[in-house]
A and B are shown apart, each in its own frame.
Chain A
């Protein structure tokens, strides 16, 4: 855990946003929690990072963070990817907040594209960066239409699309951003997490908040809410699986990244969740390529 620091960036208000804006965002969060899965429009602000780079997640964090929080930020599951480093440094600077890579120690976990492998706990807040909050946007480009479809819970178009996958590919396609139904009412995009992570959202004890800055929408899954990935009785929902275990820690239950080692078709598969992998290695687990330079690099960064 890295202690809080104080730098010149504190010339801005605590956690960057002014207090009125934070109140506006908190009201949107409360509304989102009250209507699980419903996309609440909010007056998203320009942030000092570009739209598409986490502005929604950053605004959510800025609205709820306090000096006692412990902040973790990951991108693709890893704490040391460049954009995660950049956002973590931002909050360390503007919110005097302690940061951590330890999923268990964090009170706020901001993420792009993953849910950590370690189960979340009551009291934790998981913040997702969302590029496109509208799960139906790929099927219907007009906001006026999709809002009406949500209002009437008219999701036939989505089921037709899944059915078309089956007729084209023999199974439901879509590895990430796989649509879910929240509390059997609102169709929701889980953000571009792999569908491997979808089941983690169901009856999760943590608060799940989703922020789309550019599209100006906030939505939420309150603790212990049913989240069901869409499927058919004869084509049940399934998650990704690998023939290999993690080459570094030997885990067989984690989402794996593929690392290309050379141009001779040699590759290794390692945990996408860098902290999960490091913790397992500390506990003495090892995979077939344990001690590889990649493990040392990850250890150094951690």
Chain B
């Protein structure tokens, strides 16, 4: 009796969760993963969970990954559901990525730039060959050589390099900027301003943004992107408590930032300039930051007088569907029982089929004519 199994769910739920805990642990003969191990050795997963979870806390993100058995969207959901219960005591001062302690910085626009090209810890140029030494628990990797002299204290951003010639659009800085839109407190509204769009993209699903950025590159709303700069490193986060009235540094966090140069435009009657798209992500995640920058630029099309033609340019399409937690929940809610609506459908379908088998020409034609009138 399948129906009985659907009903009487209380015991079933308890037992299912006990089973889940058992499979999460796996074979007890294998040592258990610690949260610290995940935090250190699965760091890019931790970074993604923090970024889409909108919560910078590596240990909590690692815990979420452990609890979710490595299912990152599930871990993101766990972190979000925790984050939403936290009290908010204020907003930090904007971080200065120009002051970043850079670990990696590259520009595809110039061969050399002030501060130099710094590859840093990257998968780029690795040969994607499975390293079977790792399977044999390779032990400690030899420390990478580091020459302090080649790393300047501050690396000027590509934007500041361009600034002298005015080749690059420079977003105006308001003297008294309004509070930025906050999607964690307010529902999405349309038309969406850029602060709201950027927040949604920063929280948005990496795979979704990647696919949109890729579609744009393939001509579905092309932005002709060129990677002006990617930088990854740590920045200080500062907060000014009302009680103190002065700024206190509360954390150093890792960020990946991307400035994507795009086609020229004359904005507000100025001389033509490169337009830009912007991407920012917690931790080290260039795929996300670059995708975000391309989609940000694509979404600016209406502001820049371009025609909205492709999905990646359509703010309502992109922003309404970018959230992992929303999308994952709603797609999977189809697992819930729908037998009341299904019964309604069945009744209707059976009635149609009955009429199909035994047509009543006079009545049907009459009512059709009437309806058409």
A residues near B187, Cβ cutoff 8 Å = 41-44, 216-217
User: In the assembled complex, how far is the CB of residue A210 from the closest CB belonging to chain B, in whole angstroms?
Assistant: 15
A residues near B7, Cβ cutoff 8 Å = 78, 80-81, 274, 297-298, 301
Nearest A residue to B85 by beta-carbon distance?
A12
B residues 348-369 with Cβ under 8 Å of A? 348, 352, 355, 364, 367-368
Given contacts A75-B337, A143-B316, contact A170 B355 (CB under 8 A): yes
Nearest A residue to B367 by beta-carbon distance?
A170
Nearest A residue to B183 by beta-carbon distance?
A43
Q: How many residues in A have their beta carbons less than 8 Å from beta carbons of B?
A: 73
User: Does any Cβ of A come within 8 Å of B189's Cβ?
Assistant: yes
User: Does any Cβ of B come within 8 Å of A53's Cβ?
Assistant: yes
Q: Is the CB of B9 within 8 A of A80?
A: yes
Q: Is the CB of B336 within 8 A of A83?
A: yes
Nearest B residue to A113 by beta-carbon distance?
B340
User: In the assembled complex, how far is the CB of residue A186 from the closest CB belonging to chain B, in whole angstroms?
Assistant: 18
Q: Is the CB of A194 within 8 A of B341?
A: yes
A residues 230-253 with Cβ under 8 Å of B? 232, 234-235, 240, 242
Q: Is the CB of B3 within 8 A of A50?
A: no
Secondary structure of the B side of the interface? helix
Q: Measured between alpha carbons, how far is A3 from B142 in the docked complex, in Å?
A: 62
User: Does any Cβ of A come within 8 Å of B172's Cβ?
Assistant: no
* Most chain B CB inside 10 Å of its own CB: which residue of A163, A214, A234: A214
Q: Is the CB of A300 within 8 A of B8?
A: yes
Q: Is the CB of A53 within 8 A of B372?
A: no
Given contacts A82-B9, A85-B10, A240-B344, contact A48 B368 (CB under 8 A): no
Q: Measured between alpha carbons, how far is A127 from B332 in the docked complex, in Å?
A: 22
A residues 268-302 with Cβ under 8 Å of B? 272, 274, 293-294, 297-298, 300-301
Nearest B residue to A298 by beta-carbon distance?
B7
Binds B, one of A102-110, A116-124, A254-262: A254-262
Interface residue from A144, A257, A259, A261 paired with B340 (Cβ < 8 Å):
A257
User: Does any Cβ of B come within 8 Å of A222's Cβ?
Assistant: no
Nearest A residue to B76 by beta-carbon distance?
A46
Interface residue from A214, A217, A257 paired with B329 (Cβ < 8 Å):
A214
* Most chain B CB inside 10 Å of its own CB: which residue of A85, A114, A131, A196: A85
User: Does any Cβ of A come within 8 Å of B30's Cβ?
Assistant: no
Q: Is the CB of A76 within 8 A of B77?
A: no
User: Does any Cβ of B come within 8 Å of A195's Cβ?
Assistant: yes
Q: Is the CB of B6 within 8 A of A50?
A: no
Q: Is the CB of B12 within 8 A of A82?
A: yes
Given contacts A144-B190, A216-B188, A301-B7, contact A52 B339 (CB under 8 A): no
Q: Measured between alpha carbons, how far is A209 from B83 in the docked complex, in Å?
A: 27
Interface residue from A41, A170, A216, A274 paired with B368 (Cβ < 8 Å):
A170
A residues near B345, Cβ cutoff 8 Å = 175-176
Given contacts A46-B83, A144-B316, contact A234 B371 (CB under 8 A): yes
- Which A residues have a C-beta under 8 Å from some C-beta of B? 12-13, 16, 18, 41-48, 50-53, 55, 75-78, 80-86, 89, 112-114, 131, 142-144, 163, 166-167, 169-170, 173, 175-177, 192-196, 214, 216-217, 232, 234-235, 240, 242, 255-261, 272, 274, 293-294, 297-298, 300-301
Q: 27 A-B residue contacts at CB 8 Å?
A: A45-B84, A47-B81, A50-B329, A50-B332, A51-B333, A80-B7, A80-B10, A81-B9, A83-B9, A84-B9, A85-B10, A114-B340, A144-B190, A167-B371, A170-B364, A175-B341, A175-B343, A193-B340, A214-B330, A217-B187, A235-B367, A240-B343, A260-B3, A261-B1, A297-B1, A297-B4, A297-B7
